Chains A and B, each alone.
Chain A
Amino acid sequence: MNDNICAISTALGVGAISIIRVSGPDSILIVNKIFKGKDLTKVKTHTIHYGFIYDEEEQIDEVLVSVMKAPKTYTKEDIVEINCHGGISSTNKVLELLLLNGCRLAEAGEFTKRAFLNGRIDLVQAEAVSDLIYANTDASRKLSLSQIKGNLSTIITNLRNNILDVLANIEVNIDYPEYEDIEEVTIEMLKEKINYINEELTKILATAHDGKIIKEGINVALIGKPNVGKSSLLNKLIAENKAIVTDIAGTTRDIVEGSALIKGIKFNFTDTAGIRKTADKVEKLGVLKSKDIIKDMDLVICVLNGSETLTSEDKEILDYVQNKQTITFINKNDQPLKIDLTGENIIYGNTLSEEGITALKNKLIELFNLENISSKDFTYVSNARQIALLKQAQNIIKTLEKEVDNNIPIDMLEIDLKNVFDILGQITGQTYEDELLDKLFKNFCLGK
């Protein structure tokens, strides 16, 4: 790497401090030019120094400067971080000075890209860094951290090595056919191996669901006729978490009402338009949309008015969600009940006295096994690219499972096995895929 890059690596805005990061062979030299305090070229690595940033005679900001020398740094290059006093104008001024003194502005994700190119981290780790930046709950931060440490990479690398062993054995059988002493890979051995690989992939993929939950949260829709108390219930569910309620407008879920943290996992609640038979064209559209939304939900809470007998509309709604993971909340139990339903996922309560709200939350915890998610060690696969590749690998393994009984020579079956080996390599970046990196590094935000 021969040039020096810099960027403001904290979110821009009026905060307490903002940090400018500089990386490259001359980063210390460049910062030293605009810093008054100790001579930074003479300080020890991984030390912090107090001083001022000057533009010639003009004092720009009072700063703390961290000096970290290669190779034990994030990018494996010399890094200097300047802690400025918040304020957009002074931070920008410092950045400008750096650019004038020989740095160039880092491209999006370039620090991480350098970390990857310099061999400090592999692809899974690079993706995890990107995730960490976007992480918005504590659990998802832990997941990103564990991926950075390489847990997933280790598991995948082990699986690849395991496959490599069989591949090597098959190759030896082909290249040294006359040697009777070398163990011949038989169809039975191959079957055993295929089963093992399939199991391992299933295990890793099983964590994919949890990983996705941790990272993206659980999407829940509230559904029911108008005026059964959906909105009140929603308000109760998110009440104590008002502070983190966010408006996620602009996403496809444009009627998300709010989020709540339960056991550290983010729940995104969506209030759907009431579903009922209607002649009104406008409302019909809303109903269609509601049905559409439900498809993408992890869970549906079906709200019924307990003080009324079940109507044909209620029955239709219950019918509609029967293939979804559903909790039925029978509201208004403070009034005489006219509904008598029993079942595992049926909760009675009312939003006035808040009866049944805790039971509902406990049900959510139970259904998504949240107690276990938080206590497991974090090796989850969490992004779409990794999941897609793992599924691709598993699909090949599943075809292999069938082919293996079809009298196909082992050296042909090996083609598929080798393919799986390569695909797994793509997850950790050990197999080259054209333009993979460009695709990846686009997902990083500025500065890191």
Chain B
Amino acid sequence: MYDIIVVGGGHAGCEAAYAASKLKMKTLLVTANIKNIADMPCNPSIGGSAKGIVVREIDALGGIMGKIADKTHLQIKMLNAKKGPAVRSLRAQADKHLYPKKMLETLQNQEYLEIKEAMVENLVVEDKQAKGVILDNNETIKAKAVILTTGTYLKAQILVGDSKKASGPHGEKECQNLSTHLQELGFEIQRLKTGTPPRIDKNSVNLNVLQEEKGDQEYLTFSFDNPPQYDIAKQESCYLVYTNAQTHEIIKENLTKSSMYGGYVEGVGPRYCPSIEDKIVRFKDKERHQLFFEPETKENDEWYLQGFSTSMPIDIQEKMVHSLKGFEHAKINKYAYAIEYDAINPLQLKASLETKVINNLFTAGQINGTSGYEEAAAQGLMAGINAALKLQNKEPLILKRNEAYIGVLIDDLVTKGTKEPYRLLTSRAEYRLLLRGDNADLRLREYGYQVGLISDKQYQKLQTKKENIQKLINLLETSNLKLNEKNKEIFKENNLEIPSSSLKFSNLLKRPAITLKFLENFIDLDFEPEVKEQVEIAIKYEGYIKKMTKEVEKLINLESKQIPSDLDYDKVGNIATEAREKLKKVMPTTIAQATRISGVNPADIAVLSVYLKKEYGKHE
């Protein structure tokens, strides 16, 4: 008898199993193929806009994705470095072989965790409560809670041109029956689609005619705990490639041969990650599309052609690839394909990621309609934490939209649902100035500590950091710049306007061109770089942070307006029919959540608020 069984060993499953076992839950991770633990069947990268911040959040809470990425990547850079601190995000070129290897090692060394190679085909459910899983050999394994992280494996089908065959990613065995059983249990199943581009032998491509993209020349890490573990000079480069008129011609001529345009696809694909044929059809006027040619691992020369995902038949794929500059003689090792799979409707989930349909059953990752390794890992971590909390009879950990991108992600899923594979974007976060990558530890470590994933030592480090931030702020607010000749000269040398009077360093720092580093010309600032970074942002952007905090107060006010979980929406008069249906389905827990449901208008919210005040006002 296990406490928790995790079904699926992808990025969601790994975090879930790691968190659950770290919380001393007796955990079993069941995976169809142990070699595919933390597999990266699509792009060889971790992070990216918004996603990089999620990886930091996972690390702050006590997850492992960031730590393993730090140990294994081929290249790392800070995206949006020239933009504001709110939108900066790390992206690492991951090593497709090394990352899974390190992950497996970590999990295998994890106390309270066992890994089993098997295919789960059904659940054991009694009285609407999950009690375990049934394997394809009919063996039953019991547990107090089950977390499903099945990725793209449910009824998976691979499409290349007009060929369609049942298969998981890169020829792995798919899971045939689990989604049928889920449907029988009352889950709404939707069909989603995603795709992956061809893999090409690097040695067959003329890299000299491509534009080189190097990693950053500054040490960067996802994790708050470990120092950098790579050599800046030894980072591998990526390359920029463009499509051309010839490529577009080939695609247009053969459009109906693709699975998508030939009508072979049932699933809904992601708008933000279109196939190359989609791009050509939808953006007719664009003369070229940007692609990236990226290494996948140090262990071989198979490279990834990002932005070239397609479901064309293989002969057309050959023509398409060869039309690219530098790829005239390219050797395709693996052809591009589209994959369709079953997912559940995330509106059937609570914000804890426990399902509303079956108690003690949690789901995370692509089964919930998301896309991306980071989104999956984040959900896996939260499902792992919340399954453990549930078994400990504790309240679930639910992150708010003003606390974490993870909060935004999960709230979006359980409030708005999704019709296409959901990807996290910075624009989905209303309060992104507060949800920065640099302050993920300050935002979330406390939670990680309370839950039990963050150690006393890590926690102590956080406390020291907080104290030092305050110390530095105090120092800058209480000491003044001396306007002597020597100091004036320093301003002149830097082409900066000399202040008219001796002012506090904190006020000086607020000026557009002044940096904290520049202030060190006048005052000794013996603090760690991450402390300085926090202080610089806090002082420089104080006005904007205050504005955002005010907005958050509005949200918190709305979040505090609870909606009774047994509210009968049929009794609330004057709500539009569509809104009523949506509210019944989502069953929002607060007025704030209700405002975010699409199809629920301000007028409906007003009516609902009035009703609540009338019916439940006395209890407020």
A interface list, Cβ under 8 A from B: 1-3, 114, 116-119, 171, 173-181, 406-412, 415-416, 419, 429-438
11 sampled A-B residue pairs with Cβ under 8 A: A119-B576, A119-B603, A171-B425, A175-B426, A180-B290, A181-B290, A409-B87, A416-B547, A433-B602, A437-B603, A437-B606
Interface pair B602/A432, CB less than 8 Å apart: yes
Interface of A is mostly: loop
Inter-chain CA distance A416–B543, complex, in Å, is 11
Complex CA gap A434/B290 in Å reads 45
Contact A436 B602 (CB under 8 A): yes
Chain A residues with Cβ below 8 Å from B292 are 178
B426 touches A1 (CB 8 A): no
Question: Closest residue to A440 on the B side, CB-wise?
Answer: B606
Are B86 and A411 in contact (CB-based, < 8 A)? yes
Contact with B83, one of A119, A409, A430 (Cβ below 8 angstroms): A409
Q: How far is the CA of A3 from the CA of B572 in the complex (A)?
A: 12
Instruction: State whether A3 and B548 are in contact (beta carbons under 8 Å apart), knowing that A181-B289, A411-B87 are contacts in the complex.
Output: no
CB distance from B562 to the nearest CB of A (A): 15
Choose one: B426, B547, B605; the contact of A174 (CB below 8 Å).
B426
Tell me the bound Cα distance from A118 to B575 in angstroms.
9
Min distance, Cβ A202 to any Cβ of chain B, angstroms = 24
Query: Could you say which of A173, A412, A435 contacts B544, with CB atoms under 8 Å apart?
Result: A412
Encode B32-53 as 1/0 by CB contact (under 8 A) with A. 0000000000000000011000
Contact of B425 among A175, A180, A435, A438 (CB under 8 A): A175
Docked complex Cα distance between A430 and B240 (Å):
43
Compute how far the CA of A173 lies from the CA of B426 in the bound complex, rounded to whole angstroms.
10
Interface string of B571-603 (1 = CB under 8 A from A): 001101000000000000000000100000111
Q: Do B83 and A410 have beta carbons less than 8 Å apart?
A: yes
* In the complex, chain B residues whose CB is within 8 Å of the CB of A410: 83-84
Size bracket of the B interface: 35 or more
Interface membership of B233, Cβ < 8 A = no
User: In the assembly, what is the distance between CA of A235 and CA of B529, in Å?
Assistant: 80
Chain A, Cβ-Cβ closest to B80: A177
Interface mask (B530-571 → A, CB under 8 Å = 1, otherwise 0): 000000000001001001100000100110000000000000
Residues of A within 8 A of B610 (CB): 438
| Residues of chain A within 8 A of B290, CB atoms compared | 178-181
Residue B319 is within 8 A (CB to CB) of chain A in the complex: no
Neighbour of A412 across the interface among B80, B541, B605, CB < 8 A: B541
B607 within 8 A of A: yes
A419 to B431, CA, bound (A): 12
Given contacts A171-B425, A411-B84, contact A1 B573 (CB under 8 A): yes
Give chain B residues whose Cβ lies under 8 Å from the Cβ of A179. Answer: 290
Say yes or no: A412 contacts B49, CB within 8 Å: no
Q: Take A171-B426, A175-B49, A180-B290 as given contacts and tell me if A437 and B602 are in contact as well, using a CB distance cutoff of 8 Å.
A: yes
Whether a CB of chain A sits under 8 angstroms from the CB of B176 is no
The answer to whether A174 touches B602 (Cβ under 8 A) is: no
| CB contact under 8 A between A181 and B87, given known A175-B426, A434-B558 | no
Whether the Cβ atoms of B426 and A415 lie closer than 8 Å is no
Say yes or no: B574 contacts A174, CB within 8 Å.
no
Does B617 lie at the interface of the complex (its beta carbon under 8 Å from any beta carbon of A)? no
A435 CB → nearest B CB, Å: 7
Q: Write the nearest CB–CB distance from B499 to chain A, whole angstroms.
A: 16
Taken together as a complex, chains A and B put the C-alpha atoms of A434 and B50 apart, in Å, by 30
Find the A residue at minimum CB distance from B288: A181
> Shortest distance in angstroms between A132's beta carbon and chain B's nearest beta carbon?
21
Whether A117 and B547, one on each chain, are in contact in the complex, defined by CB atoms closer than 8 angstroms, is no
Q: How far is the CB of B594 from chain A (nearest CB, A)?
A: 10
| Given A175-B49, A437-B606; A1-B574 close (CB under 8 Å) | yes
Please report the C-alpha to C-alpha distance between residue A430 and residue B605 in the assembled complex, in whole angstroms. Answer: 12
- Chain B 7-39 near chain A by CB (<8 Å), digits 1 or 0: 000000000000000000000000000000000
Beta-carbon nearest neighbor of B601 in chain A: A119
* B286 sits at the interface (CB 8 A): yes
Task: Give the chain B neighbours of A174 by CB distance below 8 A.
Answer: 49, 80, 83, 87, 426-427
Is B433 interfacial (CB 8 A cutoff)? yes
CA distance A429 to B548 in the complex (A): 22
- The reply to whether the CB of B512 lies closer than 8 angstroms to some CB of chain A is yes
Does B79 belong to the interface (CB within 8 Å)? Answer: yes
Q: CA of A431 to CA of B595 in the docked complex: distance in angstroms? A: 10
B609 interfacial by beta-carbon distance below 8 Å: yes
Cα separation A191 to B146 with both chains bound (whole Å) = 54
Q: Are B289 and A436 in contact (CB under 8 A)?
A: no
User: Which of chain B's residues have a CB closer than 8 A to the CB of A3?
Assistant: 573
B88 to chain A, nearest CB (A): 10
Which residue from chain A places its CB closest to the CB of B89 in the assembled complex? A177
Residue of B nearest to A168 (CB): B427
Choose among A1, A119, A177, A436 the residue that contacts B606 (Cβ–Cβ < 8 A).
A436
Please determine whether A432 and B595 come into contact, CB atoms closer than 8 angstroms: yes
Judge whether B49 and A177 touch: CB under 8 Å.
Answer: yes
Interchain CB contact under 8 A, B602 and A429: yes
Q: How far is the CA of A51 from the CA of B607 in the complex (A)?
A: 38
Most chain B beta-carbon contacts within 10 A, residue among A175, A415, A431, A432: A175
Is the Cβ of B573 less than 8 Å from the Cβ of A434? no
With A117-B607, A409-B83, A409-B84 given, is the CB distance from A415 to B558 under 8 Å?
no
- A178-B79 CB under 8 A given contacts A436-B606, A437-B602, A437-B603: yes
**Residue of A whose beta carbon sits closest to that of B575:** A117
* Supplied contacts A408-B84, A434-B557, 6 more A-B pairs, CB within 8 Å: A2-B574, A171-B425, A412-B84, A412-B541, A412-B544, A415-B433
